[in-house]
Chain A
Amino acid sequence: MRIRNPQSEIRNRLGYKMSQGILLFIEQRDGVLNRTSLEALVAAQGIASQTGEKVAAVVLGKSVSSVAAEIAAKKLEAVYTIEDDKLAEYTPDGYVSASKQAIEQLAPRLVIFSHTYQVRDFAPRLAAQLGKTFVTDCVGFRVDGGDVIFTRQVFQGKLNTDVRVISAPPALASFQAGSYRADKAEAGDSPCPINALSVNLSDTQIRTQPEAKFQEAKQAVDLTQAPLIVAVGRGIKSQENIELVQKLADALGAEIAASRPICDNEWLPMDRQIGSSGQTVAPKLYLAVGISGAIQHVVGMKNSQTIVAINKDPEAPIFDIADYGIVGDLFEIVPALTAEVLKVKSES
């Protein structure tokens, strides 16, 4: 995306020169920093180092001093805090109103988020209220003569696009979890200043009432402890065929797991789902059968020691993270593999 160079040196209300700057949105819940904010920080610092800009961060909530102090240790120009009773619980209305006022006061040219469920829930509204464009779910960036070009996946990761902003700043952009490593966030030489921003939420109507967060009934299987996992995806086509994969899992002595559509269809129970809305696993072997490798699945298994993919599509994104792959029809390969495993096991 190309962010046009702003007409230099517009000073905002606070007198900070943020017209060239990057504002990073920090997500916290109950005073605990969301780690993906640090990943987004790496992206922000990377852009800033190439454009010669500064990065400031903003944290919203009711009492955010410890999160602010934690983030102030990073290489940042400043951390801004917004504390208000109306922000005690996350609501889209409260967050849109507070962050809109922050953006108006600080006048950055780029606002960066991590593409979390919370950001999905309010940032598009924020962009619409500001009348600004929002480049969502980016996996990379490149700076081209002062312009930032964002990389975003389309068609569930099957294609990449280079996206350029052609509207007036500020622009908003969010980065996909896992695109950058949180431990690469640069620390500052000394803690940066923490400033309270005052925003007025008295007129802000909070139209949604959130209840307490909860987890569904306890998981019957704990896949995180399984050393070997065979996971099945939509390529299996019907519930009857699951047995084919179950047999392979049994032969290996592995647990069976699944991508989301399999659990959505109730072909396997929810507690076998791997991914951002399921379990996160890192077994010795993760064998993915008929799974395309969408990011929401991959985040739940990419740290597995050895990944094997069986898929008929040589371009399937799963092959990008697999150590071994077989391109072909799972209905031929899986039975052959089961037979081979049984053979080898009976011999040894």
Chain B
Amino acid sequence: MNIVVCLKQVPKKDSILRIGGDQKWIDYRDISYEMSEADAYALEEALRQKEKHGGEVIVISLGPERVRQSIKEALAKGADRAIHLQDPLFDSATDADGIARAIAAALKDEKYDLIFTGLQSDDYGFAQVGLIIAERLGLPSATIVMEVQPEDAAVRVKRELESGWFQWVKMSMPALLTIQSGINQLRYATLKGIMAAKKKEIREVKAADLGLTAEDLKPGQVVDRAYLPEKTKRTEIIEGKPSEAAAKLVEKLRFEARVF
């Protein structure tokens, strides 16, 4: 069973985000990066399926040179090969449509049974790229997946619904699934894996290779302005050394909020 994993590199979770000079996005200076959380789980799920059923895990990522770091991490964890969509033209693909269009085009001639994406990225958080890829490749899909059971030519998946509800859904393969964090327990790359990764293929793909022009990647929506959310509620920030702050808080909880 061959599985493609769409992997996005995003600023690390605890990055201090500053607004960039153009006020439209963040300032990328001094930022370090990691795989978007749900994508790490998608990769892990693909590796586990491969260990059970055989086949190949192919990772695909669209982004600048730095993205190679995350691609290499995926290869070190056990992915077999990678496709890196890197081109200045892809910088203009700033909405889900453009990103999905490029990824779908790059997968057109691949042989796969399943495509995994994360359910949403940690930076843009469109929650769209996976399904647009599915639509463009004509695949059935399921979102927010918490378990994957291949059955011959079909796949049965457990979808998470709101408030602790679930539902199994079955469809034929090939199919696209968007994976939810927590579907499995993540592994670490081993030294052996890191060494083996050095020999694995990372194929670079340019926009022209896919026949895509700037016009094709033009977004349908743009960010006018990025800014820190205004506080709507007045939080009383309690200052002081830990022991002082603790004493003040307990006092407030007892006599203002009367919670104990």
A337 at interface by CB-CB < 8 Å: yes
B238-260 residues at the A interface, CB under 8 angstroms: 238, 242-243, 245-247, 249-250, 252-254, 257, 259-260
Question: Could you tell me if A326 and B231 are in contact, using CB atoms closer than 8 angstroms?
Answer: no
Question: Could you tell me if B233 and A128 are in contact, using CB atoms closer than 8 angstroms?
Answer: no
B55 at interface by CB-CB < 8 Å: no
Question: Could you tell me if B182 and A160 are in contact, using CB atoms closer than 8 angstroms?
Answer: no
> Which residues of chain A have C-beta atoms less than 8 A from B242's C-beta?
328-329, 332-333, 335-336
A272 to B149, CA, bound (A): 27
> Which residues of chain B have C-beta atoms less than 8 A from A309's C-beta?
235
Cβ-closest chain B residue relative to A320: B231
Residues 86-116 of B, flagged 1 when their CB comes within 8 A of A and 0 if not, give 0000000001110010000000000000000
Question: Could you tell me if B17 and A158 are in contact, using CB atoms closer than 8 angstroms?
Answer: yes
A164 to B222, CA, bound (A): 5
Question: Could you tell me if A164 and B221 are in contact, using CB atoms closer than 8 angstroms?
Answer: yes
Question: Could you tell me if A1 and B245 are in contact, using CB atoms closer than 8 angstroms?
Answer: no
Question: Could you tell me if B170 and A279 are in contact, using CB atoms closer than 8 angstroms?
Answer: no
> Which residues of chain A have C-beta atoms less than 8 A from B125's C-beta?
136-137, 153-156
Question: Could you tell me if B127 and A137 are in contact, using CB atoms closer than 8 angstroms?
Answer: yes
> Does more than half of chain B's interface fall in helix, strand or loop, or is it mixed?
mixed
Question: Could you tell me if A327 and B237 are in contact, using CB atoms closer than 8 angstroms?
Answer: yes
Question: Could you tell me if A124 and B127 are in contact, using CB atoms closer than 8 angstroms?
Answer: yes
Q: What is the interface residue range for chain A against chain B?
A: 35 or more
> Which residues of chain A have C-beta atoms less than 8 A from B134's C-beta?
125
Q: What is the interface residue range for chain B against chain A?
A: 35 or more
Known contacts A120-B143, A277-B164; A285/B259 CB under 8 A: yes
A289-348 residues at the B interface, CB under 8 angstroms: 305-306, 308-309, 313-315, 317, 319-329, 332-333, 335-337, 339-341, 344
Known contacts A214-B166, A261-B181, A325-B238; A124/B227 CB under 8 A: no
Question: Could you tell me if B229 and A320 are in contact, using CB atoms closer than 8 angstroms?
Answer: yes
> Which residues of chain B have C-beta atoms less than 8 A from A325's C-beta?
235-238
Best-surrounded residue of A211, A277, A327, A344 (most CB of chain B within 10 A) = A277
A93 at interface by CB-CB < 8 Å: yes
A264 at interface by CB-CB < 8 Å: yes
A92 at interface by CB-CB < 8 Å: yes
Question: Could you tell me if B231 and A120 are in contact, using CB atoms closer than 8 angstroms?
Answer: no
Question: Could you tell me if A164 and B229 are in contact, using CB atoms closer than 8 angstroms?
Answer: no
A165 at interface by CB-CB < 8 Å: yes
Known contacts A209-B171, A340-B246; A326/B238 CB under 8 A: yes
A301 to B244, CA, bound (A): 27
Question: Could you tell me if B167 and A277 are in contact, using CB atoms closer than 8 angstroms?
Answer: no
B65 at interface by CB-CB < 8 Å: no
> Which residues of chain A have C-beta atoms less than 8 A from B97's C-beta?
128, 133
Question: Could you tell me if A167 and B221 are in contact, using CB atoms closer than 8 angstroms?
Answer: yes
Q: Which of A116, A284, A336 contacts B246 (CB 8 A)?
A: A336
> Which residues of chain B have C-beta atoms less than 8 A from A37's C-beta?
none
Known contacts A133-B95, A162-B225, A209-B169; A339/B185 CB under 8 A: no
A191 to B153, CA, bound (A): 50
Question: Could you tell me if A93 and B233 are in contact, using CB atoms closer than 8 angstroms?
Answer: no
* CB of A258 to closest CB in B, whole Å: 12
A13 at interface by CB-CB < 8 Å: no
B130-167 residues at the A interface, CB under 8 angstroms: 130-132, 134-136, 140-144, 159-167
Q: Which residues of B are interface residues toward A (Cβ below 8 A)?
A: 11, 13-14, 16-17, 19, 26, 95-97, 100, 119, 122-128, 130-132, 134-136, 140-144, 159-172, 181-182, 185, 219-229, 231-233, 235-238, 242-243, 245-247, 249-250, 252-254, 257, 259-260
Given contacts A121-B143, A327-B237, 14 further A-B contacts (CB under 8 A): A125-B134, A128-B132, A132-B220, A133-B220, A159-B226, A160-B227, A164-B222, A213-B167, A215-B166, A234-B13, A285-B253, A319-B237, A323-B233, A344-B254
Q: Which residues of A are interface residues toward B (Cβ below 8 A)?
A: 1, 92-93, 116-117, 120-122, 124-125, 127-129, 132-137, 149, 153-167, 171, 207-216, 219, 227-228, 234, 252-253, 260-261, 263-266, 276-280, 284-285, 305-306, 308-309, 313-315, 317, 319-329, 332-333, 335-337, 339-341, 344
| A-B pairs with beta carbons under 8 Å apart, 25 shown | A120-B143, A124-B130, A125-B135, A155-B17, A155-B122, A159-B17, A207-B171, A208-B140, A209-B170, A209-B171, A210-B167, A213-B161, A213-B165, A214-B167, A219-B164, A253-B260, A264-B182, A266-B185, A277-B164, A306-B253, A323-B236, A325-B238, A333-B242, A336-B242, A344-B250
Across the A-B interface, the 9 shortest Cβ-Cβ residue pairs? A133-B220, A264-B182, A167-B220, A207-B140, A124-B131, A128-B135, A336-B246, A336-B242, A124-B128
